[in-house]
């Protein structure tokens, strides 16, 4: 199992980024969460046994939904949390 911490910076709040991230994660079988941060960024944690699925999810975060403008994505490896599914939090 692999775990990524992903911070997405840009015009990423109020553009359905978190909901779209959930849809993409569900499509790829990635577990974790997406939440808005007070600084205007979106923060995701993502886990999967499939490296290719995590790579594809991280690549999607660099684009996001059509109305998003992504300026920067920071990805780091994190500690496993054993998520069950992918949720959107506030």
- What's the Cα-to-Cα distance from 87 to each of 21, 50, 69, 72, rounded to whole Å? 9, 19, 22, 22
In the beta sheet, which residues pair with residue 70? 10
Q: Which of 36, 50, 74, 82 is catalytic?
A: 36
Q: Which of 18, 23, 50, 74 is catalytic?
A: 18
* Span between the terminal Cα atoms of the chain, in Å: 26
Active site residue 18: yes
- Catalytic residue numbers? 18, 36
């Amino acid at each position: 199992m692999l775990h990524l911490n992903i911070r997405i910076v840009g015009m990423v709040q109020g553009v359905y980024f978190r909901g779209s991230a959930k849809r993409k994660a569900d499509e790829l079988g990635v577990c974790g969460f997406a939440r808005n941060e007070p600084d205007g960024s979106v923060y995701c944690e993502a886990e999967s046994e499939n490296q290719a699925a995590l790579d594809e999810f991280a690549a999607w975060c660099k684009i996001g939904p059509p109305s998003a403008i992504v300026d920067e994505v920071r990805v780091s490896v994190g500690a496993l949390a054993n998520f069950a599914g992918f949720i959107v939090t506030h």
